[in-house]
Structure formats: structure tokens, C-alpha cells
Structure 1
Amino acid sequence: MNKTVLKSMEIIKLFFKEEKLTLLQMIEKTGLPKTSAYRMAESLLELGFLEKDQEGAYRLGLIFLALGNLVADRLDIRSVALPYMKRLRKETGEAVNLVIRDGDEAVYIEKVDTQERVRVYTQIGRRAPLYGGACPRILLSFMEQDEQEQLIESFQMIRYAKGTPENKEELRQLIQKTRKNGWSISHSELEDHSSALAAPIFNHKGDVIAGISLVGPEVRFRDEARAKEMIEKLIEASRQISVELGAGDR
């Protein structure tokens, strides 16, 4: 590998932990000769990878902000999530859905169907209210509290099935429980006799950007031991997807 590139990367990595460094500090930390360190630092400065403050100390340039945003924006959550969704289906036998928020609704953008004969069918593009069903509600539960409360106040609580939350106070209690647990569960909220388990997916900013869920007939989700096992696998999948999207190891 090119030694100059490697040494330049060594300098850049110093700023992963330090906000700014003088040339002398860079020399001390890298062990580079003064002339080499100066030449590399000035080259990185000219390229925009570093910048100088008024005291002459170096810090990372704004180009990293632009590059970071580009990487984050170009990560397709569906392509990142799909392998984990397929693994979840294999491990649990249940269907797996992926939803994102669109206004006051959740939109189903990807799915992996179960091989079981008795199943709950979900169509890509389907919309659901954020207050109904485990996966839509996971998006509501982990958003900023002010925005969350504004949405709750705006909801007209329509009863889609026998288990749909009846009022806003019940919804707030479900949200509180979801945030405490880190996952949500629903029974007969959007369709009678159907159940779902859901977990949040976070981006590099720590914002919830999607929900992933296991969905199936209610009878298969009422078994506490089986549900606990599915929850563990679901949470691990959501964590790994979040890490790939830059959220860090939560």
C-alpha cells in the first residue's frame, strides 16, 4: 500500500479522538519527522480534509461532513435490512415486515413472507396509522417527544380491529411501555386474529427511521416462551441493521 496515503490516514485518524491538534502534537502522536508531518498536514489542508483555526491548530475539514451525509443518504435501508429479514424468517418461521414513516402513517416498504400455510399477508405500499399495530407504533414511540405529542393530539382514533387502542391515554401508556422495553407487541390491532412484534431501527444521528416486525396469526404469538425467543432475535436484527446504518453499537 502507498506509504504516503497510509501516513496521511494516520494523521486523519488522530482527529477521531481529538477536536484539534497543533503540528507539534501531531508529530508527537505519529512519530513522523517534522518535515514529513508538515508536508502531509498542509497537503490535507489544501485538499480540504483539514482546516486551521485562528491559533494555527489543525482540525477536520467540512468535507467530512459532506462525505458523511453522502454515505448516510446513499445507504438503502431496504438492501441493508433484507438479509437480516430473511434470516429472521428462517429463524422464526414468521413473516417479516419493514416500515418507514410518511407523515402520520407508516408505509410498508419491504417484506419477507412466511412459508407457513396459515399466515398474515401484508402488501408492500400498504399504509397504517402510527397508533395501530406494533410496527407503526414503534416509529411513534421512539420519535422526539414534542413531535410525538403533536401527532397524538392530531389522531382521530379509528378502530380497525378489536385490539386497536381505544383512546389517546391508552396509546400513551402503550408508548411508555414500548420505550421502556425497547420493543412493541400488538394483538388484533389492524386485523383481527393477527399479531406482531416490532423493534426500532436507528440511523447515524440516533433517530428512529424504520421499524422491523415479525407478523403472524395471533395464536402463534400468545405463547410466552416462543414470543420471548422471537423478541430476542428481532432486537438483535434491529441492532445490527442500525449499526450498518451508522447508529453505533447501541
Structure 2
Amino acid sequence: MSTDPIRGEAARETPGGTESADRVADVLLLFARSEDPLGVSRIARDLALSKAVVHRILQSLSSRSLVQPVPGGSSYVLGPAAAGLAARAWSQLDVRSVASPVLRKLRDATRETTTLSVLVGDQRIYLDQFESPQEIKMVVEIGPRFPLHSGASSRAILAHLPQPLIDEAVRQLVALKPDTDVEAYLADLATSRERGYAVSLNERNTGAASIAAPFFDVAGNVLGSVSSSGPVFRYADLADGADERQTRLVVEAANDITDRLR
């Protein structure tokens, strides 16, 4: 007798397990559409499934890290394996080729390093960059994952995510920096959301500065961010919100990528 929840009871309900596969796919797609963590009751109701079947599907998905339980609760969110699938999807969609001419144009206009970041699960990765022609410049590493709580490229994305993901990012930040002023942090995040870009000065790396703006899919979901970054002494006006040309160019670049992806 099979002990796999997907290959066991649910798979026996129809020849070949086709219905079971459909149900698993429906559960994953429900997570992809949801702005909140999902529990057994909600999934069962939305998909017209029994709670027993939903529970078994979640057990199997969790064992494969496609979903993971929310700490201290009975709900689930997408897991790191789902993030891996998202990363592969990004490479197949070739967002890099769509954004490449925009990044190059932004680099030429600002003479600073420009980067493309994409959201992968509850983190982000740098997908591409065009380096500044200047001797003193910022250079990023393509591929590693970064948390969403720190840095302009991360916070430009985080500002447009559902509240549970914002709460989780804040929890991670407080665990890393217990003296974080959460109220001030959330206020800054709201400001970034309203004005359409985020800035950072000496935040992730001492001596580094960055301006980042988000880009979106056709449904309005945030996909990633575009940034211009360099040494902090060339971004001094950011502290006073005075670098209007630089911020305008970054926001225009992000909007251009959004338009090209539609």
C-alpha cells in the first residue's frame, strides 16, 4: 500500500491518477493566486475538495518543500522548491532579454551600474547588470538570493507584496537587527509604495547607494525591480530627496519594462 498522500488514496479515485494530478495542480495554483497564507478549510472550500484530501495533498507538497507551514499557525505558504520552479520559469521567459536594452539605456543615461532583480518566492535575485563606465563603481553578483527587507532593490519589491509577506520580512529584519524601529520602517515602505521607488544609503553595504523601482505583470503583480547604484558620494542628494533626474530615469526604466512584458 502506498504511503504517499498523492499516490495513495487520492490517486486511486480515477484510473491513472489524472484527477489526483489535477487536484494537486489546482492547490498549487490557488497558492500562486492567493495574497494570504492558506489553510485546509479555505482550500477545501475554494476547490470543493474534502478536508482529508486537502490535508494529504498539503502533507505531500510540504514534504517536497513546495509549500511550508506558517510558523505558529495552521496555514501554509509556497515553499523554497516552488521558488526554484519560479527561478526556472524566469530563465525560460527570458526576462533578461526583454529588460536588457532598458538597463543599457539607463546605465548610459546615469553612468552608474544598473541592475535587474526578480522576485523568487520570498526573496529576490539579481538577474542582470550593466556596469558603470566610471572607475569607482558598484558591481553585484548575479544569482545569489537576497532577503526582501533590506536594500532599495528588495524594498521596492516588498512595498507591493501582500501583507503576510511584509510581516514575514519585518520579522526577519527584527531577528537580524533587534533595535529596528518597525513603525518607521513600515512608514518608509508605504512612502516607497506611494512614490514608486525606494532608496538606500549605506544600508546593505557601507559606502553604497541605490535607487530602485518595481516592474509588474499584466495583472499588476510585482515581478521585480530595476536599480541604479553607485558610491554614496555620487548620490548625496538622495538624502534630501533632491535627485529628481536620477529617480525619474529609474522609474521610467521600470515602467518601460512593465510595458514590454505586457
Quote the Cα distance in structure 2 between the aligned partners of 1:220 and 1:151.
29
Q: 2: CA distance between counterparts of 1:133 and 1:238?
A: 17
Q: CA deviation at 1:226?
A: 7.2
For 1:140-179, list aligned pairs within 5 A.
140-158=158-176, 166-179=180-193
1:1-250 alignment runs, 5 A limit = 75-158=93-176, 166-223=180-237, 227-246=243-262
Contact 1:97-1:214 within 8 A present in 2 as well: yes
- For 1:84, the aligned partner's letter is V
The Cα shift of 1:189 comes to 0.6
Residue identity in the other structure for 1:199: A
Long gaps (5+) in structure 1? 1-71, 160-164
* Distance in 2 (alpha carbons) for counterparts of 1:171 and 1:226: 21
Distance in structure 2 (CA, Å) of the matches to 1:200 and 1:109: 14
Q: Distance in 2 between matches of 1:91 and 1:166?
A: 35
CA offsets per residue over residues 96-146 of structure 1, 9 Å max, x none?
A: 011122333221111111111011121111332211110011111111234
Q: Could you list the runs of 4 or more consecutive aligned residues of structure 1 that deviate by over 6 angstroms after TM superposition?
A: none
Provide the rounded CA distance (Å) in 2 between the counterparts of 1:108 and 1:232: 22
Q: Any idea what SS the aligned residue of 1:121 has?
A: coil
**Contact 1:157-1:166 within 8 A present in 2 as well:** no
1 CA distance for matches of 2:109 and 2:208?
A: 20
| Cα 1:227/1:150, change in 2 over 3 Å | same
CA, structure 1 residues 117+177, in 2 after alignment: closer, same or farther (shift >3 Å)? same
Q: Is the partner of 2:149 in helix, strand or coil?
A: coil
Cα deviations across residues 143-163 of structure 1 (Å, max 9, x unaligned)?
A: 12343234433544435xxxx
The unaligned stretches of length 5 or more in structure 2 are 1-89
**Alpha carbons of 1:89 and 1:193: their partners in 2 closer, same or farther (altered >3 Å)?**
same
Pair 1:182–1:88, CA change in 2 (3 A): same
Question: In terms of Rg, which structure is larger?
Answer: 1
Contact 2:156–2:198 under 8 Å retained in 1: yes
Percentage identity across aligned positions?
26
Aligned length: 171
The 1:120–1:73 alpha-carbon spacing in structure 2 relative to 1, beyond 3 Å, is closer
Distance in 2 (alpha carbons) for counterparts of 1:167 and 1:194: 22
Q: TM-score scaled by structure 2?
A: 0.60
What CA distance in whole angstroms lies between the structure 2 residues aligned with 1:92 and 1:157? 36
Which deviates further from its counterpart, 143-152 or 200-209?
143-152
Q: Secondary structure at the match of 1:197?
A: strand
